[in-house]
Chains A and B, each alone.
Chain A
């Protein structure tokens, strides 16, 4: 991915390597916040916001501290700490400076503190040995991919209420089946970039 152009990175992260449907990260909010379109959109926005920030700051931590001091093996724990603090910080910042945005993202921000899609995307960026700018674009792409998948899935789940679902398959079960089928559909992007 490091040799790809910005456009390819965006296509790759949104479709080919979709964080939810190809990487299977962040399944918990995927199932939890996809019952209603409204919450799905809120969640998607919050993820885009946080992931871009987290992607850049973890890149800085990794390349300025972990690599020079030969502490790469502390990557996961360091990232978790940094992301969690970051989200808290952002929440405080927004509350004071941009109350309107705070009200919009509201309860979704703290939910992302423990979202593995955010951590996963940061780790992938590092593994792919992307430069800072590319890592930023890639983070944005992953977040948009998350949003696209989540919103698509919420649309489908809203429609599922119209269908007759056998009792044992209702709710989360049919949600997982549907997610699987959507993931299969996303496999058709494989090989595009």
Chain B
């Protein structure tokens, strides 16, 4: 017995001694911070962070390989404590969240029938899965099983639904998904995403120049989650009140319901939720990434500049908007008349944008008050040039500078300033009795509808092609017709006639006929010899298109000289997605890059430029991914016919009666009611790439 005791004692002592000696001899210096960092972790050893256990994660944090927020179980306070140990700023990491990018689910048509498979991984290995849709969710829930936080479940429609409260962004679902449907992203990464060929997106979202997730916000409206819808739109478009009023909604042209029925009134729904937010009187909070300390100058406070500034701010950069006009909005404030976009509404919208922490310097003009060189000198890391297209093209005919002759932008801007600025009250714009506006675009329509409201007796449009070729929005043309505007088609002005005092008295034009189609696909008008006609007028506005005013380039003595322009005076950028100019730190977008275009295109360009600027100032590659969709459609998602549609009437846009609206500048188009919005949102087929909800089974 004694021997046994002594033996065990001896053995224990030897082992203990050996280990203690070994721990001395084989001592490896371990940073004391590792233990400290580990003490703040959740000690769950869940491996959710991707490291084998908490101590491995702590080692990675101390080695600088993992951020202080690496622990997916511990809360923000723990991350702050860990950051304090490491002596870094805890705020550098944004929370990651899992997103499911497929909303097809059960609706997807089956291509194969498999028996006995219960994992997506297996299903994908065999001929890519059961669905016709090549990129859609397989619905067997590998992601659900991979999630150790119980944050995922297969929803009622056969695709995973993420519980954002439970999701910690560990990435297990993303790793396990064979179809790359689950994506782990920060809000910044979401804001930077450009539509791609392999995205699971509906035709409307592909077509929208701002790439708004339309089916998602319509679904949110349908579920009564108006604030959610506002937030969804705001991930792509900060000017939803304005867009909801003036956007010609190219998305609706590609609406799948529109193939068999009337398209969903998408823009009315956008306006409905945007107005809902405004009427609630409170700007919904907008998430902004932790500050990066980088400074960006945005020149021009129009839609492109506002959009670029908004997204750069949301990405955490410090943004200053330099604008030549007294108030923000650019062309949508000084070009679009009050009756289409009330300036009170616009002011509410721009206030909301400035509220997230953007600085605004009004009344400063590039080339007059500052130049690019001075911005660089004052520490800006990049510049966005969103100077718009404010310079009217001229007719190039005799007499167009006579008294009573104006260009469209000058007329509209002077009028807007007179209407909006106390200081400009004495500069009432001249209004003739017999007014003619030359041109067929939206600017021309804005001019005639403004003139009607200002009490001009006779207002007409002279356009060298026919109504069908007019580039203006159809609704605008119809409204102008209702309000009593006369149209003279197939007429090309050749001379402006004036009296002895230099005032305009008449317009001579040649009658035209349509010939062969030209490069733009429109039939080219050909003059008829000897058909000169004289029209008696006392006011003439030319609105035949506009380009950027690049006078700053001549004024500048410094860097701005290297800025390349195209022959249309737009800023030359090789890639319309990257929007980087010939000077690497100068980016552009909107009308100044493309010539006069839609508001929503400028908003999309603003976001693309913000993406490029973000990548530029964080030292990353700007080149957009090869699969970038940009204005194209994904062929597989465009149908010729759609089955299972039951015709239903599209909600009509309420508008003021003509006799009321031509007397004032009160907003002519009204917002739809909540009931109508719910009805209209229900008409949406909730399309994904190829799936959609059928009305009839």
Interface residues of A (CB under 8 A from B): 61, 65-66, 69-71, 73-74, 77-78, 81-82, 85, 88-89, 92-93, 95-97, 106-107, 161-165
Contact = CB atoms under 8 A, between A and B. Distances in A.
Nearest to A66: B7
B119 interface: yes
A82 B16 CA distance: 10
Most buried by B among A65, A77, A92, A165: A92
Interface residues of B, number: 25
Interface stretch (B92-100, B110-118, B352-360): B110-118
Nearest to B10: A65
B19 A82 contact: no
Contact of B3 (A69, A82, A95, A161): A69
A96 B28 contact: yes
Nearest to B12: A81
B27 interface: yes
Interface in B111-140: 115-119, 121-122
B23 interface: yes
Interface string B9-53: 001100110110011011110000000000000000000000011
13 contacts: A61-B11, A69-B3, A71-B4, A77-B8, A78-B8, A78-B11, A81-B11, A85-B19, A92-B22, A92-B26, A95-B26, A161-B121, A165-B118
| 7 nearest CB pairs, A to B | A164-B116, A96-B26, A85-B15, A162-B122, A92-B26, A161-B119, A92-B22
A92 B19 CA distance: 9
Contacts of B18: 85, 89
Contact of A92 (B4, B16, B23): B23
A107 B53 contact: yes
Given A89-B19, A106-B52, A161-B118, 13 more contacts: A65-B11, A66-B7, A71-B3, A74-B8, A78-B11, A82-B11, A85-B16, A88-B22, A92-B22, A95-B26, A97-B26, A107-B52, A164-B118
B27 to A, nearest CB: 7
A77 B52 CA distance: 31
B116 A163 contact: yes
B117 A162 contact: yes
A134 B74 CA distance: 52
- The prevalent SS among residues of A at the interface is helix
Contacts of A85: 15-16, 18-19
A95 B23 CA distance: 10
Nearest to A163: B116
Interface in B331-346: none
A74 B665 CA distance: 102
Nearest to B7: A71
Contacts of B7: 65-66, 69, 71, 74, 78
Contacts of B52: 106-107
Nearest to A86: B15
Contacts of B8: 74, 77-78
A121 to B, nearest CB: 20
A77 B4 CA distance: 11
A161 B119 CA distance: 6
A164 B116 CA distance: 4
Interface in B630-671: none
Contacts of A165: 118
A47 B4 CA distance: 30
A88 B116 CA distance: 46
Interface in B506-532: none
Contacts of B28: 95-96
Contacts of A73: 4
Contacts of A93: 22, 26
A96 B27 contact: yes
A89 B115 CA distance: 52
Most buried by B among A82, A85, A88: A85
B122 A161 contact: yes
Contacts of A71: 3-4, 7
A162 B26 contact: no
A96 B12 CA distance: 24
B19 to A, nearest CB: 6
Given A88-B19, A96-B26, A164 B115 contact: yes
A89 B122 CA distance: 43
Contacts of A61: 11
A89 B11 CA distance: 15
